[in-house]
Amino acid sequence: MSLKITACVFVMVMLMAANAFAQDPGTKSDKTAQEAPAAQAPKPHRVRVKEDVQKAKLIHMVYPVYPPANNKRMDGTVVLHVIIGKDGAVKSARYVSGPANLRDSAVNAAQQWRYKPTLINGVPVEVDTTVSVVFPPLTKVARPFANK
């Protein structure tokens, strides 16, 4: 008897599940409903791009100015988080890491850089990337005509 009850319950559950997933013939299929939003998906406002890929699009670079020497180390790499506008101009540059005494010079220089606009399907988008501003040792930069 218990086997018959279990079998009946199983059949009822299966019928209820079939009714729950049954579709009215007058409605559109799920496949069509899924395709429509994909065709009208919103275009991205901002994309993340690796530093070396974005570096290839750099068209105007301003070199950083070394800050006045205060007996501090004057070389190193400052890493910045940068947002580039749709027109290729730097909208914001925020310090991430590197020598603190070179931070302001790196930010001021990077804010003057320009890139080729990044296009997605022919539409310009903002770019979120990282920029490394390298400060070589001052002796290698400041004395190009020094005696040998």
- pLDDT at residue 52 tops 50: yes
pTM over 0.75: no
| CA 139 – CA 62 distance, rounded (Å) | 20
Q: pLDDT tens digits, residue range 14-38?
A: 545 445 444 555 555 555 445 555 5
The dihedral formed by the CA atoms of 11, 15, 20 and 22, expressed in degrees to the nearest 10: 140
Using CA atoms, how far residue 2 sits from 8, 13, 14, 125, in Å, is 10, 16, 18, 66
pLDDT in tens, 57-113: 999 999 999 888 766 767 899 999 999 999 999 999 999 999 999 999 999 999 999
Task: Please identify which residue in the block is written with the tokens 């086997």.
Answer: 3
What does the pLDDT read at residue 4? 52
How many Å apart are CA 148 and CA 131, to the nearest integer? 35
Q: How far is CA 92 from the centre of its chain?
A: 14
Task: Write down the CATH number for the domain with range 46-142.
Answer: 3.30.2420.10
* Spans of all domains in the chain: 2-39, 46-142
